[in-house]
Chain A
Amino acid sequence: DIQMTQSPSSLSASVGDRVTITCRASQGIRNDLGWYQQKPGKAPKRLIYAASSLQSGVPSRFSGSGSGTEFTLTISSLQPEDFAAYYCLHHNSYPLTFGGGTKVEI
């Protein structure tokens, strides 16, 4: 099984900050990776697919990069509505696996 190691597990940031979250795959997964945002009590929302493609309707301050084993989600200028948990998900092969999550707090 492919393991996804996500870091950091939590971070504190301020409005306007640039935030970077990283996921590392235990083996190469090409660009078969998505990023999700989850707010308390809500279902996850897809932000990025194919590692770097922005989901329709998602603000352009969100971006994804990487291929193979190293992936990054960047929020260029953190907004109040961005305080949430973020997860990566690989879909290169079964079983799919999520990263452990990153909680972005004020």
Chain B
Amino acid sequence: QVQLVQSGAEVKKPGASVKVSCKASGYTFTTYFMHWVRQAPGQGLEWMGVIDPSVGSTTYAQKLQGRVTMTRETSTSTLYMELSSLRSEDTAVYYCARGTPPDYWGQGTLVTVSS
């Protein structure tokens, strides 16, 4: 069965970076694009960007350009989302989600940015 297992919760200080992982299993890793979506506490869903695992090409949301980097490691079927220059507004649950429109989602990773 398809599974997307994300890394654990993180607490970071403003200005730091965070790297969240998403390990995929149960399907051919390179067949589906992977999106990253975040949700601030009590807020709606925000699309962050997408990566094509077959070639590594990416498209990012304009507001995150320059701060977000999505990568993949095909040998381990793992995707990564790194967000730099963290600010308090980046406090959110971060999800990886497979396919377009996404069908399977990871369990979410809470990233807390606090001094």
Contacts and interface: CB of A to CB of B under 8 A. Distances in A.
Contact of A44 (B61, B62, B100, B105): B105
Contacts of B105: 43-45
Contacts of A89: 45, 47, 101-102
Interface size class of A (residues with CB under 8 A): 20 to 34
Contacts of B59: 94-95
A62 B23 CA distance: 31
Interface string B18-56: 000000000000000001010000001111001000000
A98 B46 contact: yes
Interface in A64-106: 87, 89, 91, 94-101
Interface residues of B, number: 20
Interface of B: 35, 37, 44-47, 50, 59, 61-62, 95, 97, 100-103, 105-108
Nearest to B48: A95
Given A43-B106, A44-B105, A95-B62, A87 B45 contact: yes
B79 to A, nearest CB: 16
Interface centre among B46, B95, B102 (most CB of A within 10 A): B102
A46 B47 contact: no
B95 A87 contact: no
Q: Among A1, A34, A49, A95, find the residue whose CB has the most chain B CB atoms closer than 10 A.
A: A95
Contact of A98 (B45, B100, B103): B45
Nearest to A100: B44
A7 interface: no
A55 interface: yes
Contacts of A96: 35, 47, 50, 100-101
A43 B62 contact: no
Contacts of B37: 44
Given A46-B101, A46-B102, A95 B47 contact: yes
